[in-house]
Amino acid sequence: MSLAPIAVIGAGSWGTALALQFARSGRPVRLWGRDREQMQAMTDARANTRYLPDVPFPDNLAITADLEACLVDARDVLVAVPSHGLRETLDRIAPLLSDDARVCWATKGFELTTGKLPHQVAMEILGEDRPMAVLSGPTFATEVGAGLPTAMTIAANDSAFASELAATISGNNFRAYTSEDMIGVEVGGAVKNVLAIGAGLSDGLGFGANTRIALINRGLVEMTRLGVALGASHETFMGLAGMGDLVLTCTDDQSRNRRMGLLLAAGKTVEEAQEEIRLVVEGVLAAKAVKKVAEDRYVVMPICEEIYRILYEGVSPREAVSTLMGRALKPE
């Protein structure tokens, strides 16, 4: 296994958790963040006291606010930023990458302005020949950071890169599966965030377990429908990056998107809920992007459509449920 440094771009909760997991492999890891004051605080504390305060950094995890220093001699680069910041981040790192650098990301969501998936944005900026991969699946940063048993999917355009990345990140309590279906893995990661807002709304309104499982199951149908229309494999949505991530995000209150739904059900506005959560809620922007992509492809996604209407058109959750339940009956 190569001992070349791994560069992790993005020092939020998820970037920090993945940097910790890669460091457990023994390889040197560099973690970069744009906030110099925060990075200095992390260096002094040897922990990310903002997001993962109880997890000390190992000696082979270095902290830096110098992007060029982070990337020098790095063979593998992991980008862990929100979807709305992916293009800007890739633009910044592109001229600093070595010719043989391989790039992966843990970003979930369509690009709002273009409707592109992360791998399409990456290929546009970095070229189609560079080895690339996406990491996704049912994972919470706090649990990965704490070293709790976890499984996820790595999909890549280069099978050797996927296998090496999986071997590096896997350990006693972490298992990575490989895939060639980047489209399916990325669609799953984008759509599940929208549906999790719906699950939070449903539970917050007291609709019960029957409603929750109906939303998850029919939401999975919508996710699969969109993914297949975009060129994904149907089987991918039965795996960790599809059903696995969807169920996790819809049922556990660690999910920011589920918490957004719970707060909306309690009468908060989107802005008030976002302020209370204090972290990026990807599903809010994803709802807008998913609606656009689905319309462009003529894909019917009634649950995602109603969640969009709640977020952006002022439709009440109960009215949205009435609309969904009143749709014409049809075969499953």
Q: Are β-strands 29-32 and 61-64 bridged in parallel, bridged antiparallel, or unpaired?
A: parallel
| Known catalytic residue at 192 | yes
Burial class (CB in 10 A: 0-12, 13-18, 19+), 231: exposed
From 243, 241, 260, select the one nearest 196 (Cα to Cα): 260
Report the amino acid identity of residue 206: G
Contact 260, 194 (CB under 8 A): no
Report, in this order, helix, strand and coil percent for the chain, each rounded to 5.
55, 10, 35
C-alpha dist (Å) from residue 96 to 90, 127, 188, 248, 291: 10, 14, 31, 36, 35
Q: Which of 192, 288, 291, 330 is catalytic?
A: 192
CA angle (135, 175, 152) in 5-degree steps: 30
Q: Retrieve residue 234's tokens.
A: 């149907």
Q: What does the radius of gyration of the chain's CA atoms come to, in whole angstroms?
A: 19
Sequence letter at residue 300: V
Amino acid identity for residue 244 in this structure: G
Q: Which residues are catalytic?
A: 192
